[in-house]
């Protein structure tokens, strides 16, 4: 994604990622939940919010339901702003528990 990409940009491109994942008929999904794409991270030029992370988590849960007998693992990842980390990972956990 381009520098400065935001949630609208993520929403526009995410269907391509979904199609790519579905094409492989995954037996399980590993979701690496890095938060360094969120606005305010000191090493990124991205402007996403935790909403994009929650969208990805919910979508990946649906794909795991469809292909993988609900087998999905979410792993923490990069991010250098602790408030962003907390917000992103809480959004992911909330989406995972709602799915």
**Residue count of the chain:** 99
DSSP 3-state assignment of 37? coil
**Distances 91 to 8, 17, 57, 94 between C-alpha atoms, Å:** 17, 20, 9, 5
For residue 99, name the pLDDT band (cuts at 50, 70, 90): confident
> What pLDDT shows up at residue 76?
86
- pLDDT tens digits along 48-67: 999 999 999 999 999 999 99
**In this prediction, what percent of the chain has a pLDDT beyond 90?**
91
Domains of the chain, by residue range, sit at 7-98
* Region 20-37 average pLDDT: 95
């Amino acid at each position: 994604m381009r520098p400065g990409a935001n949630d609208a940009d993520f929403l526009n491109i995410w269907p391509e990622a979904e199609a790519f994942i579905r094409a492989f008929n995954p037996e399980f999904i590993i979701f690496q939940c890095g938060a360094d794409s969120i606005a305010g991270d000191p090493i990124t030029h991205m402007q996403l919010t935790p909403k994009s992370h929650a969208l990805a988590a919910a979508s990946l849960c649906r794909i795991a339901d469809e292909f993988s007998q609900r087998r999905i693992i979410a792993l923490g990842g990069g991010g250098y702003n602790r408030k962003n980390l907390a917000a992103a990972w809480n959004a992911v956990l909330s989406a995972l528990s709602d799915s």
